[in-house]
Amino acid sequence: MLPKAASTASANPIAINANDQIFSAAEFREVILASRNGSPVRLRDVGDVIDNVENVRLAGWVDGQPAVIVDIQRQPGANIIETANRVKALLPKLRSAVPPP
């Protein structure tokens, strides 16, 4: 399960996971984080919740220019040589999908 939301407002950042049944900021606002004095503390009570798909805290740079990060991880039982060859074969197609610098 991938994090669906995060808070970086304090020295202790947190990630919020969801099971893909929550699709919008409006639904996330209602997520109960804790209970205080018998009352629920909802995400909306502790911060702003917005719809956004861009992670503004993650970026790639090469020689001072914006770059694309491609994270490839080996899966158990995968043939690493075959995987590397397939990735290399796809690089021209990936490069053509990225705007020129």
State yes or no: pLDDT of 3 exceeds 60.
no
pLDDT score at 45: 92
3-state secondary structure of 74: coil
Long-range contacts of 3-6 (CB under 8 A, 24+ apart): 4/28, 5/43, 5/49
Look at residues 55, 51, 34 and name the one whose alpha carbon lies nearest to residue 43: 34
Which residue shows structure tokens 């407002």?
9
Look at residues 1, 36, 29 and name the one whose alpha carbon lies nearest to residue 15: 1
Cα 43–Cα 59–Cα 75 angle in degrees, nearest 5: 85
More confident residue, 30 or 20: 30
1-5, 32-36, 37-41, 92-96: which is most confident: 37-41
Over residues 28-44, the mean pLDDT reads 91
41-77 pLDDT, tens digit per residue, is 998 998 888 877 666 667 788 888 888 878 888 889 9
DSSP class per residue in 1-54: --EEEEE-SSSS-EEEE--S---SHHHHHT-EEEEETTEEEEHHHHS-------
pLDDT score at 1: 41
- Does this model's pTM top 0.75? My answer is no
